[in-house]
Structures are given as C-alpha cells and as structure tokens.
Amino acid sequence: MGATDLLGRPTTEVEDELLELYRRAKALLARDDLAPCARAGARVAAVGLWNAVNDLGLEHEQLLDLGA
Amino acid sequence: MGAGEYWNPKTETLGREELTALQLAKLRRLTEWAAARSPFYQRSFKEAGFVPAQLRSLDDLRRLPMLTRDQWMASQGEQPPFGLLPVAGREAAIRWHTTSGTTGREPIRVLDTAKDWAWQAEMWCYGLWGFGVRPADTAYVAFGYGSFIGFWGLHYGLEKLGALNVPGGAQPTDGRVRQIVDFGATVVASTPTYALRLAQEAERLGVDLAASPVERLILSGEPAGSIPQTKALIERLWGARAGDTAGMTEIGTIMIFECRHQPGGTHIIEDHYIEEVVDPDSGEPVGYGEAGERVVTSFGRGIIPLVRYRTADLVVKVPASRCRCGRGFDLYEGGILGRVDDMKLVRGTNVYPRAVEGIVREHASVEEFQLLLTRDGHFDRVALRVEPSPETTDAEWDDLAARLAKALAEAHEGLRFEVERAGVGELPRFELKARRTVDRRDTPIGG
C-alpha cells in the first residue's frame, strides 16, 4: 500500500522521495555519534526538508526532541 | 494561472473543503502537542473540558478556549521570563525576540527553535513569491536589525528563494537611499511610513527613485500598506508597485500577503494558519464581509503553540474568489484595518485614525502628521498637526489647511478638526510602527 498525504491522497514520486530524504535526515539527527559539524549539517537538512514536507501536506510534526 | 504563480502550488490552489481538511489534520496534531507539553494549555484545556479527541470537524475549534494577550502577560509574570506557554526552555531555542514595545507595555518574549525559525522564513517566501519577487531580484531591506522580530523572517526568506539580499541595517536614511540606488535594488522592504520617508529623503538628495530599477516595495509593520491613499502615494513617489504584508511577534512571521494582482486585500496563508473573525464583544464568529477581531491559530512555531489567540486586529474577511490569482486562500479586504480599540470618540463622533490617514495622504506635500486629542474642561478637542514640506509657502499652507479641515469635517459628521502647522522636523519620525495618534484626554490638567 502506497503512502498518502494528510488529505489521504496518494503521494507522488517526488513526494515519496522527499519523505524518504526527510526520514533519513531525522534518523541521522537522532544518532549520538555525530561530530558537531555533522550534527549542524544534519539539522539544517532536516529542517529544510521539514518545511518541504509540511508545505506539501505530507507530514506535520515537531522536531524539538531532535534538537530542532 | 501557471504553477510559477505560486510558491507552493499544491496547497495554495486547494479548494475550501480540502483546505479545511488539511487545517483539521494539523489542528489535531497541534492540540495534541500543546496538551502534552505546554503547562499553560494543560491548564486551560482542562478548565475548558477540552481534549484533542473532541476535534471531529473544524467546527469543534470553538470548543477550544481563546488566548488573550493579558493571559500571556500574566503567564510571563507567573513564570518569568517566558511564561507557561512554551513547551521547552531557552536551551532548546536559537532565537529570542520581543514585541516592539511601542505601546509602552511590558513586551512579550518569544523563543524559536531552528525549525521554527526556518518556518518563519518559509512564510515570507509565500508572500514574496506571491508578489512577484524572484531569484533574479536584488532586494534592499531597510530595517535596523534588532530584538524586534520585524523583518528578520523576510531577510532569510529572500535568501531562501534565491534573491540577492542587501541588509540595510542601522544607518541614516540618506545612506540607505544611496545604497538602494548604488546597488541597483529592484525590491525594497520597509514599513509604509519609512517608504515615504525614504522618498522624501531621495527628493532632498535630488535622487529620482521613479527612474531607479526599484520595481516592488514590500511593506509590513503597519496597517498603512493597505490604506489606498497611502499606497497610491508610495507607488507614485517610487514609480513601483507596493505589496502589503502583515505579521506579528506572537506567531513570529507574516500570516497574510498581497499577491501581484493587488486585489485590494491580503491573502491568508491558510495551510499554515486558521484565521477566525469574531465579534470583539461576544466572541461569536462573524460572516464574510463583516468587520470583526482576528483570532489566529498557528501551525508553525512549535516551541510556543498558539491556539485561538485574540489579536485585537480589526479585519473583514472575503472569499478567495475576490482575487483572480487562483489561490484558494481567503483574503482580508483592505488588510489589517486597525485595532478593535483604535476608534476614538470625540464629542459623540467616531474618529478612526486609518480614515484620517487616508484623507491626509491625498496631499503629497504632507511630510508628517499627528492626530492630537486633548480635553479643555469638559470639551474634547481634536487637532491635526501637519508638517508640510519645507518649501511650502504661507499661501500654499493656508490652502492645504483649509482643504484638510473641510475633508476631515465632511468625513466626520461636521466635527471640527483644528489643523495646525508644525515646524520642520518637529513631529516624530518612525522606522517601525508609527504612532501618530496621541490622546491626552486622560492626562490631568498640568500633568
């Protein structure tokens, strides 16, 4: 079964790609073995992708517990 | 309209039913977050008997208690410095800002996380893109960057969409005028008042702004960006189009913007906010076309959830179909019309500062003005203090004063306005949030 957005509509190929990147950025940010420079970059990436998936109505959540 | 019209074509063009469904989905998550993490909402939801599971349709929004500025301030007093609304402390944030303090009251203090801060720039992208700003633009930000949140989001929004950003920073007005011209700015961002001041300064310097590359002005920080006469004057002096926006520290960024079609109002960014309009006395919703108070719920700032915040802004909501841009976002006709408590009662006549400004701005020779209300015994007096351009002759002043007095009386049931000439540079100048109405009627004689 394919993914859906917050309206319950099937996601597009581009949206699936964005969601995958977003999840990977979050997973990276959740690790405790990142160098400060890597953590800062991962945070910027996660925040940037959060804006995209949030704008597109794909996901809506908080990142506070990941330090963002 | 082509997809290039919109920053976010997917949600900006949603129909009302889908937009409402999206808002409901986000509202559920926001209230769950607030109920789980914010001490303020844990208490207020409990007092109201509200639990997020009660949200079955957007009509259930009314089950949620409204939040007032007074409650926010009381919360700051209860637990300084940020109060009980935040879900985390300063250690989780990357920015600390405050309200402008122009009212003389204790400021609201706000925090933002990295995600919240990036979202604020994102909201500006909706507005900037919607008014036609593109990566090829050079944008000059006439803003003295400080603790007031003001144009910070615009600054980062410009960079995000790829425009060349020139931060004006703190410097004299003549220096800013020269930079705008020297850098070949195509976009200038400022308050409406400051856009006029820049134009006046340019004239003194012999700089023809209308002949400069500036094509767009992004106005924010004051309601005047949607006062037709003020906007027309700004557009004429600059030879450029002026687009209104409005935001507030409590949400951190803008919530409305004027699109490039300039429909006489500002679109609400409805995929990121729920904007209700209510009767200020009863709190009951009013319909399209009726004036009421803005109540905002924001899906953006996570560290300080904002649910049903009473803004005291006076607005009139009209349907999205009023504009031909194709957005599904409703509009506020005339932008923010003022504050619900803006109206002044003078000898039984209602005086609205916005209406006075509209009349004054029909006269380009007025450089600055002030509406002064005083009490003489039991008699209220209303004076319009006007600072005309320095080269105005006595005869020209007499003519201007007579025309202003006549127009003001006609617009206010014959109420007599005393029109007084102020000296050059006598009246205060403003970069942010002009305060031109001075009501001294509660000041004791000699006070």
Q: What ipTM does this complex have?
A: 0.97
| pLDDT score of B296 | 98
Helix (H) or strand (E) holding B39: helix B39-48
Which residues from A are below 8 Å from B92, CB to CB?
Answer: 64, 67
Which residues from B are below 8 Å from A61, CB to CB?
Answer: 29
Min distance B130 CA to chain A CA atoms (Å): 15
Which residues from A are below 8 Å from B118, CB to CB?
Answer: 47-48, 50-51
Interface test with A, best of B115, B274, B306 (most A CBs within 10 A): B115
Helix axes B394-411, B353-360, angle to 10 degrees: 140
The reply to whether residue A47 touches residue B115, judged by beta carbons under 8 angstroms, is yes
C-alpha span between A12 and A9 (Å, rounded): 9
In chain A, where the domains are located: 13-58
Min distance A6 CA to chain B CA atoms (Å): 6
The reply to whether residue B115 touches residue A55, judged by beta carbons under 8 angstroms, is no
The reply to whether residue B122 touches residue A51, judged by beta carbons under 8 angstroms, is yes
DSSP codes of every residue in B387-436 = EE-TT--HHHHHHHHHHHHHHHHHHTTTPPPEEEEPPTT-S---SSS---
Supply the DSSP symbol for B261.
T
| pLDDT score of B403 | 95
Map tokens 């890597």 to a residue. Answer: A38
Number of Cβ within 10 Å of residue B378's Cβ equals 5
Give me the residues paired with residue B333 across strands: B265
Bridge-based pairing of strands B138-141 and B187-190 is parallel
C-alpha span between B290 and A51 (Å, rounded): 34
Of B22, B33, B115, the CB nearest to A57: B22
Bridge-based pairing of strands B418-421 and B265-268 is unpaired
Which residue ranges in chain B fall short of pLDDT 50? 444-447
Three-state secondary-structure class, residue B369: strand
Write the CATH number of the domain with boundaries B1-340. 3.40.50.12780
Q: Which of residues 17-36 of A touch B (CB under 8 A)?
A: none
* Chain centroid, CA B84 distance in Å: 26
Mean pLDDT score across all residues of chain A: 96
The reply to whether residue A7 touches residue B22, judged by beta carbons under 8 angstroms, is yes
CB B278 within 8 A of CB B285: yes
Every domain of chain B with CATH number 3.40.50.12780 lies at: 1-340
Write the CATH number of the domain with boundaries B344-439. 3.30.300.30
Sign, CA torsion B330/B334/B335/B336: negative
Which ranges constitute the DSSP H helices of B162-308?
173-182, 192-205, 228-238
CA distance readout (Å), B252 to A8, B23, B34, B96, B112: 30, 19, 18, 11, 8
C-alpha span between A57 and A54 (Å, rounded): 5
Give me the residues paired with residue B264 across strands: none
The reply to whether residue B118 touches residue A48, judged by beta carbons under 8 angstroms, is yes
Min distance B35 CA to chain A CA atoms (Å): 14
| pLDDT score of B222 | 87
Min distance A45 CA to chain B CA atoms (Å): 10
Min distance B93 CA to chain A CA atoms (Å): 8
* Chain centroid, CA A5 distance in Å: 14
The dihedrals phi and psi of B101, each to the nearest 5 degrees, come to 80, 10
CB B305 within 8 A of CB B34: yes
Q: Nearest chain A Cα to B20, which residue?
A: A7
Report pLDDT digits (tens) over A18-52: 999 999 999 999 999 999 999 999 999 999 999 99
Sign, CA torsion B398/B404/B405/B406: positive
What is the tally of helices (H) and strands (E) in chain B? 11, 20
Of A6, A51, A64, the CB nearest to B119: A51
Torsion of CA B31, B37, B38, B43, to 10 degrees: 80
Q: Is A28 exposed, middle or buried (0-12, 13-18, 19+ CB in 10 A)?
A: middle
Residue B184 corresponds to which amino acid? G
Q: Nearest chain A Cα to B89, which residue?
A: A64
Q: Is B423 exposed, middle or buried (0-12, 13-18, 19+ CB in 10 A)?
A: exposed
| pLDDT score of B447 | 39
Does the CB of B26 have a partner CB in chain A at under 8 Å? yes
Report pLDDT digits (tens) over B48-107: 999 999 999 999 999 999 999 999 999 999 999 999 999 999 999 999 999 876 666 788
Bridge-based pairing of strands B418-421 and B379-388 is parallel
**Which pTM was predicted?**
0.91
Min distance B30 CA to chain A CA atoms (Å): 8
Residue B46 corresponds to which amino acid? K
The reply to whether residue A55 touches residue B88, judged by beta carbons under 8 angstroms, is no
The token pair at B417 is 């306005």
